[in-house]
Amino acid sequence: MSAPLWTYAALIAASGGRADGEPTAPVTGFTFDTRALEPGNVFVALKDQRDGHDFVTGAFKAGASLAIVSDAYDRKPGDGALLRVADPLKALENIGIAARARLSPDARIIAVTGSAGKTGTKEMLRACLSKVAPGRVHASEKSYNNHWGVPLTLARMPEDTLYAIFEIGMNHAGEITPLAKMVQPHAAIITTVEAVHLEHFPSVEAIADAKAEIFSGLQIDGTAIIKRDSPHFKRLAAHAEALGHHVVVSFGLDPRAGATAEALTLGEDASEVDARISGAAVTYRVAMPGRHIAENSLAVAAALQAAGAPLEKALSALATLPPPPGRGARTLLAGPGGEILLIDESYNANPASMRAALATLSAVPRAKFPRRIAVLGDMLELGPAAAKLHRDLFDAVDDAGTDMLFACGPHMKGLYDAAPDAMKGGYAETAAGLLPLVLAHAQAGDAVMVKASNGTRLGALVDAMKAHFGCISPKL
């Protein structure tokens, strides 16, 4: 068996806690969710919507090796080893900081933030680096990118990690700084800055400033990776320079970018990129269609180079990497009399990613799929500008050559009303209400792109379409 993730002594020292009992099994990981607990995991009793202390006994039943609890917790029958601390979240942070500190000086850490594309970019880096150092790559699970997700990911990091990739997100100014300081990356990517989470920000510039906090954790001579083709480029570069002795590498399709594509072929299923990454020429294929994904891949290449990874070998992983769930996954459905192409973008949406997904829909060849259907649900957390930001999408819907528009949610009503009658497929207040309308119209030869914020629940509509028609194949 491999070495335990942590020795008990090291955990006690890192957390500053008081041991109450001795674990009987080696520590295999960390969780705060008993439903996801695997044998040997440390259960951390966090206070979120519910108090994790109510689940400690259940965690031991599920095989926890240890629980990190607050001093005041009363031991229950069935409880195993407890590590008592003043504040379990703070203890998790301290364990995370210790995990970062114990890595070899050769290890290279990459952090990813941005208004869209964090998870996809993080998964590209995970796949690329796993080609170079199999078994020695660590990365955030899912979108674990906040005040508990980042320390949790750090705490889970094995000591012999050679490359680690952290997703870092935020809803408010000031949230990224402490996380970036815990992670201490050698390279930090800002994928893009867009008008999302406007609820908590006076302007898009203020969002750019908050994203730039990621540079506050960069190691000396670290690499700040920012998009060249962005109105915020200069602002972000100035932040990187002000926050330390950092190398700034810009990426994007702008030929002035340090990491750019000299030739780019945007195909139906994939993109071919002839890239130049700070002078190094490399050609690779990305098995996820879309200009925005190809752009993100240039940031990936810049980060790989900054981490000292061999570019060609690492980037070859992108030729077979499928999109993360709900972010562009394609499935062929058995429509009546022929195939329907379903593009599942149901996980996430904001104006920028909506435009990107609509552009990808427009790249589906009409020869194979003559009719383009957009099924759009509300984009959430846009603040007072929400109505306008929804309505303004109409140009993108039209430019994509959308033949039929379905919409759900109170904000999307505005966009739907702005569409010409000939384009209107149906509107319903909820995703569940929209499903029968979509099912009644979808037919062979349709390309159907489904997109909304996750909270709109269009994921269930995607699942119901698959169940209704049947899947011929998961397509990349």
List residues near ligand ADP by CB under 6 A: 114, 116-120, 143, 191-192, 292, 295-296, 327-328, 345, 348, 352-353, 356-357
Distances (CA, A) of 55 to 11, 52, 174: 21, 5, 31
Enumerate residues 141-200 that contact Mg ion by CB under 5 A: 143
Query: Which amino acid would we find at residue 108?
Result: R
Nearer residue to ligand ADP within complex by CB, 94 or 140:
140
Phi, psi for 204 (deg, rounded to 5)? -65, -30
Residue nearest to Mg ion (CB): 143
Nearer residue to Mg ion within complex by CB, 260 or 350:
350
Q: Which stretch binds Mg ion (CB under 5 A): 115-123, 237-245, 263-271, 321-329?
A: 115-123
Supply the minimum distance, in Å, between the C-beta of residue 396 and Mg ion: 22
One of 118, 138, 246, 292 touching Mg ion (CB under 5 A): 118
Nearer residue to Mg ion within complex by CB, 199 or 241:
199
Nearer residue to ligand ADP within complex by CB, 143 or 219:
143
One of 15, 57, 115, 119 touching Mg ion (CB under 5 A): 119
Supply the minimum distance, in Å, between the C-beta of residue 353 and ligand ADP: 3
Which of Mg ion, ligand ADP, none does 100 bind, CB closer than 5 to 8 A by kind?
A: none
Supply the minimum distance, in Å, between the C-beta of residue 126 and ligand ADP: 12
Q: Which stretch binds Mg ion (CB under 5 A): 16-24, 51-59, 116-124, 258-266?
A: 116-124
Quickly tell me which residue has 């497929």 as its tokens: 425
Residue nearest to ligand ADP (CB): 117
3-state secondary structure the chain: CCCCCCCHHHHHHHHCCEEECCCCCCCCEEECCHHHCCCCEEEECCECCCEHHHHHHHHHHCCCCEEEEECCCCCCCCCCCEEEECCHHHHHHHHHHHHHHCCCCCCEEEEEECCCCHHHHHHHHHHHHHHHCCCCEEECCCCCCCCCHHHHHHHCCCCCCCEEEEECCCCCCCCHHHHHHHHCCCEEEECCCCCCCHHHCCCHHHHHHHHHHHHHHCCCCCEEEEECCCCCHHHHHHHHHHCCCCEEEEECCCCCCCEEEEEEEECCCCEEEEEEECCEEEEEEECCCCHHHHHHHHHHHHHHHHCCCCHHHHHHHHHCCCCCCCCCEEEEEEECCEEEEEEEECCCCCHHHHHHHHHHHHCCCCCCCCEEEEEEECCCCCHHHHHHHHHCCHHHHHHCCCCEEEEECCCHHHHHHHCCHHHEEEEECCHHHHHHHHHHHCCCCEEEEEECCHHHCHHHHHHHHHHHHCEEEEEC
Nearer residue to ligand ADP within complex by CB, 11 or 128:
128
Enter the tokens of residue 115: 């208004």
Supply the minimum distance, in Å, between the C-beta of residue 266 and Mg ion: 23
Nearer residue to Mg ion within complex by CB, 65 or 119:
119
Supply the minimum distance, in Å, between the C-beta of residue 296 and ligand ADP: 5
Which of Mg ion, ligand ADP, none does 352 bind, CB closer than 5 to 8 A by kind?
A: ligand ADP
Q: Which stretch binds Mg ion (CB under 5 A): 42-50, 135-143, 150-158, 447-455?
A: 135-143
Supply the minimum distance, in Å, between the C-beta of residue 343 and ligand ADP: 10
Nearer residue to ligand ADP within complex by CB, 34 or 113:
113
Which of Mg ion, ligand ADP, none does 175 bind, CB closer than 5 to 8 A by kind?
A: none
Supply the minimum distance, in Å, between the C-beta of residue 142 and ligand ADP: 9
Q: What is the C-alpha separation between 190 and 167, in angstroms, rounded?
A: 10
Nearer residue to ligand ADP within complex by CB, 355 or 413:
355
Q: Which stretch binds Mg ion (CB under 5 A): 113-121, 152-160, 258-266, 397-405?
A: 113-121
Nearer residue to ligand ADP within complex by CB, 296 or 305:
296
Nearer residue to Mg ion within complex by CB, 225 or 261:
225
Supply the minimum distance, in Å, between the C-beta of residue 293 and ligand ADP: 6
Which of ligand ADP, Mg ion, none does 357 bind, CB closer than 5 to 8 A by kind?
A: ligand ADP
Query: CB of 189 within 8 A of CB of 149?
Result: no
Which parts of this chain interact with Mg ion (CB under 5 A)?
Answer: 118-119, 143
